[in-house]
């Protein structure tokens, strides 16, 4: 008998709807407390019957899926699946152990670290791919069961600058404060630093009407697939020097002011801080901005005029992505985009708006309920006495048991193995050995820990470093909820029984909490956890108290904030912003002086040229590639990292198509094949960040961070580029100095 389950794609925050169909009856949920059978599935033997994937009609994807979505089920029966706990021996080899042994080891490691160094010697690193239930429970588990403040997650590398800017301006952070379908009828869309045509292809259908009307404007140093999409309709591609997006936005705002394109009534009634922002942009006239960014002054003027005309006629939207946010001034750049949107009266309008594009599958929900170093559930500040009192009551504990704020991700990772830092680390849903800035230093930190436990379903590069690996469920094997880029809460539904040895993180946390005599309760049932999450979020900025599994199962739209008794909030800011006075706050920002690029060292060779490195994604791969590099169709299409170089720059260095190229700086060296393309600026090179070891782009990225958000500098790094005759060793920790 054929059975099917309606669910959502496991990858990006578009959360495309899909149906999984099995030729056999869907298996019932396993019984709580059931005993796993280690070694049930040997390597090479399928762990589950293949599932057929079909697109399902839904507002974000309308039945379409990208290549990653269509192939997502192939990992469910992958022969490399981890199906039992693994312990690393003295010889570096991981061998199976029982769950009882694994849990005992984890508990002993926690107790030892706390006894020797204090509670903050235990750290937790989470992920934006966890369900809301698991993200919520991970925050509670860290603070109560482990007693540590040292928890953060990989969303710090994704949404933190946009979130900080949104909180500063609007008093709340929801990626898109309007349904995605609102873009369908827009006259003008300004998209900064986002290549949705490759990162979330079904999104592009929402841009088509605007593109066809000539209203799509894309800002990107590369002529990406999204930038190229503007050409057919007469749109604009603005191609600034890397790191100058803030200057460009100030130049556009200057035109809005000086050509009297501002919405004066909106500014007077719905904002504060307007005068200071007006003064701050006076020195950024278009010709000056052209000299700083490389964007022609007339294109700057035309962008401002089109946005203003669209706001009057059919609607204008400004959308930002990681390209303008993953900088040490990312919060200020996102703030400049928000200021521009406020000048034009876009946020809260019925036909216009400002938004930022969440990347990870649960990047929105994952940052709302307690994984962040400074947050409690419901997007509450952990330093707020009222927030602490509310959550303590829900948890049934004394308020002083909840630790204060911890360290944001980069600082947390820098503390690994230090005498006063984290000595015992738990990692969930994150491959930090590939995805973190200055990856060589992060790997060294992982190796210096007293104990590293990783929950994963494949042997990721981070799992390979672990003392203990715990096998967990994949997306089609679990129940739960996620929150997509629109702030819409969605149901993840179970489609098949997991391998006998795999366990949900909820089960793992419940067992560990019990063994650690932790206060409060820890359920392994997702719906029970969600009911507690509802109570904990009630009254917070991200209020889920009016949402339950029943309404989600019926397909009802649920946009937070959704207080009990309400109908939810598809469009935020229609009447007021989330600050006490109801107004949006405009904050003047200005570009900061960047460090002068270092010259290549003497040993780099006469052909080494100093260039700017930007990093990003490919259509076929996702995040660190730990999953997509295991999908044969995707790996065949993009089997290796390639460094994109302009032909003129390549010719000056004697680099030809397909030649082996060294890209290096003081942090490390990457070697990969050259891909010559006029789509990139001549002084810039591009590397995808999905690959490990000698192709790992994050060997080169700097761990400098935005002072407000903690966002690392992923998109602007100085490198030395040269052709090479022979490849390096595959030693992951090899640096330029060592070579």
Give the per-residue pLDDT at 735. 41
Q: Taking the model in full, what pTM does it have?
A: 0.94
Q: How far is CA 21 from CA 6, 306, 461, 479, 680, in A?
A: 9, 46, 32, 16, 42
440 contacts: CB under 8 Å, gap ≥ 6: 667, 668, 699, 732, 733, 735
> SS3 for 66?
coil
The span from the CA of 241 to the CA of 422, in Å, is: 38
Handedness of CA 399, 400, 403, 405 (dihedral sign): positive
Please name the residue ranges forming H helices in 591-701.
Answer: 632-637, 647-653
d(CA 524, CA 527): 9
Classify domain 602-723 by CATH number.
2.40.40.20
Q: Tell me what the mean pLDDT of segment 683-703 comes to.
A: 97
Alpha helices in 38-187 (DSSP H): 67-70, 99-117, 132-140, 160-170
**pLDDT at res. 182:** 97
pLDDT digits (tens, 9 = 90+) for 452-505: 999 999 999 999 999 999 999 999 999 999 999 999 999 999 999 999 999 999
DSSP 8-state symbol, 423: S
Predicted confidence (pLDDT) per residue in 129-176, tens digit: 999 999 999 999 999 999 999 999 999 999 999 999 999 999 999 999
DSSP string, 544-603: -TT--HHHHHTT---BSP--TTS---SS-SSS--SSTTSPEEP----PPPPPPPPPPPGG
Mean per-residue pLDDT for 272-279? 96
Task: Take residue 30 and report the two structure tokens written for it.
Answer: 């396993």
pLDDT value of position 574:
96
Backbone angles phi, psi at 490, to 5 degrees: -125, 160
Torsions phi, psi of 360, nearest 5?
-70, 160
Mean pLDDT of the chain: 93
3-state secondary structure of 174: coil
Judged by average pLDDT, the poorest of 35-44, 47-56, 328-337, 719-728 is 35-44
Q: How far apart are CA 440 and CA 465, in angstroms?
A: 13
Q: So what's the pLDDT on residue 600?
A: 74
Encode pLDDT of 405-463 as tens digits.
Answer: 999 999 999 999 999 999 999 999 999 999 999 999 999 999 999 999 999 999 999 99
β 271-272/584-585 pair status: parallel
pLDDT of 606 reads 56
CATH of 103-157+362-525, one of 3.90.1200.10, 3.40.50.740, 2.40.50.100, 3.40.50.300: 3.40.50.740
pLDDT digits (tens, 9 = 90+) for 104-120: 999 999 999 999 999 99
Q: How far apart are CA 473 and CA 72, in angstroms?
A: 14
Element (H, E) at 481: strand 480-483
Domain 160-357 bears CATH identifier 3.90.1150.10: no
Cis status, amide bond into 561, omega within 30 of 0? yes
Band (33; pLDDT cuts 50, 70, 90) = very low
What residue segments make up the domains of the chain, in order of their start? 103-157+362-525, 160-357, 602-723
Asked if 328 and 592 count as a contact pair (C-beta separation under 8 A), the reply is yes
Q: How far apart are CA 474 and CA 450, in angstroms?
A: 28
CA angle 58, 64, 70 (to 5 degrees): 120
Predicted local distance difference test score (pLDDT) of residue 603: 62
The arithmetic mean of pLDDT across residues 88-111, rounded, is: 98
Which position has the token pair 């436990």? 453
Spatial CA neighbour of 447 closest among 84, 120, 88, 86: 88
Residue of 363, 310, 368, 308 whose CA lies nearest to 340 = 308
d(CA 687, CA 694): 12
């Amino acid at each position: 008998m054929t059975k099917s389950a309606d669910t959502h794609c496991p990858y990006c925050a578009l959360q495309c709807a899909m149906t999984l169909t099995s030729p056999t009856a869907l298996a019932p949920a396993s019984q709580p407390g059931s005993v796993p059978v280690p070694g049930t599935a040997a390597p090479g033997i399928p762990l589950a019957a293949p599932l057929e994937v079909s697109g399902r009609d839904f507002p974000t994807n309308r039945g379409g899926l990208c290549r990653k979505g269509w192939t997502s089920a192939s990992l469910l029966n992958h022969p490399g699946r981890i199906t039992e706990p693994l312990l690393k021996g003295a010889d570096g080899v991981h061998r199976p152990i029982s769950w009882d042994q694994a849990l005992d080891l984890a508990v002993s490691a926690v107790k030892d670290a706390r006894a020797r160094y204090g509670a903050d010697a235990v750290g937790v690193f989470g992920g934006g791919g966890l369900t809301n239930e698991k993200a919520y429970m991970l925050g509670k588990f860290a603070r109560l069961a482990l007693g540590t403040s040292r928890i953060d997650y990989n969303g710090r590398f994704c949404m933190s600058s946009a979130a900080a800017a949104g909180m500063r301006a609007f008093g709340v952070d929801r990626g898109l404060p309007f349904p995605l379908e609102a873009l369908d009828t827009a006259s003008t869309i300004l998209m900064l630093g986002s290549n949705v045509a490759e990162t979330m292809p079904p999104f592009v259908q929402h841009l088509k009407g605007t593109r066809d009307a000539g209203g799509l404007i894309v800002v990107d140093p590369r002529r990406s697939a999204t930038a190229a999409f503007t050409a057919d309709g007469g749109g604009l591609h603005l191609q600034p020097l890397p790191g100058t997006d803030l200057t460009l936005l100030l130049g556009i705002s200057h035109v809005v002011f000086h050509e009297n394109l501002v919405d004066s009534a909106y500014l007077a009634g719905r904002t504060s801080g307007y005068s200071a922002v007006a003064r701050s942009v006076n020195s950024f006239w278009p010709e000056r901005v052209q000299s700083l960014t490389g964007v022609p002054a007339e294109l700057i003027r035309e962008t401002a005029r089109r946005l203003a005309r669209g706001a009057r006629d059919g609607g204008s939207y400004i959308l930002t992505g990681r390209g303008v946010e993953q900088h040490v001034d990312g919060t200020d750049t996102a703030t400049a985009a928000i200021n521009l949107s406020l000048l034009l009266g876009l946020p809260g309008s019925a036909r216009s708006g400002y938004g930022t594009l969440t990347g990870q599958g649960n990047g929105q929900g994952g940052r709302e309920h307690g994984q962040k170093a400074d947050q409690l559930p419901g997007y509450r500040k952990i330093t707020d006495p009222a927030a602490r009192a509310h959550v303590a009551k829900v948890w049934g504990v004394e308020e002083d048991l909840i630790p204060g704020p911890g360290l944001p991700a980069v600082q947390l990772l820098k503390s690994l193995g230090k005498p006063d830092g984290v000595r015992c680390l738990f990692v969930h849903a994150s491959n930090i050995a590939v995805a973190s800035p200055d990856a060589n230093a992060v790997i060294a930190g992982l190796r210096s820990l007293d104990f590293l436990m990783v929950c994963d379903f494949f042997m990721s590069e981070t799992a390979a470093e672990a003392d203990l690996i715990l096998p967990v469920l994949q997306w089609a094997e679990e129940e739960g909820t996620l929150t997509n880029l629109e702030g819409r809460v969605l149901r993840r539904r179970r489609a098949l029984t997991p391998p006998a040895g795999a366990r949900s993180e909820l089960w793992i946390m419940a067992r560990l909490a019990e063994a650690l005599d932790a206060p409060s309760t820890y359920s392994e049932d997702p719906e029970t956890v969600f009911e507690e999450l509802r109570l904990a979020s009630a009254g917070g900025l991200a209020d889920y108290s009016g949402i339950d599994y029943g309404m989600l199962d019926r397909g009802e739209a649920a946009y937070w904030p959704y207080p009990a008794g309400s109908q939810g909030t598809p469009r935020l800011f229609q009447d007021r912003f989330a600050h006490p006075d109801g107004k949006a706050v405009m904050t003047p920002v200005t570009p900061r002086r960047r460090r002068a690029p270092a010259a290549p060292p003497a040993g780099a060779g006469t052909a080494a040229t100093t260039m700017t490195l930007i990093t990003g994604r490919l259509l076929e791969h996702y995040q660190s590639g730990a999953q997509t590099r295991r999908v044969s169709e995707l790996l065949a299409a993009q089997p290796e990292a390639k460094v994109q170089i302009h032909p003129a720059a390549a010719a000056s260095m004697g680099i030809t198509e397909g030649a082996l190229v060294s890209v290096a700086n003081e942090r490390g060296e990457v070697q990969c094949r050259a891909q010559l393309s006029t789509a990139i600026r001549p002084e810039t090179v591009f590397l995808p960040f999905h690959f490990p070891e000698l192709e790992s782009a994050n060997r080169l990225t700097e761990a400098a961070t935005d002072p407000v958000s903690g966002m690392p500098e992923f998109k602007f790094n100085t490198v030395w580029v040269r052709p090479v005759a022979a490849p390096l060793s595959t030693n992951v920790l090899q640096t330029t100095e060592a070579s």
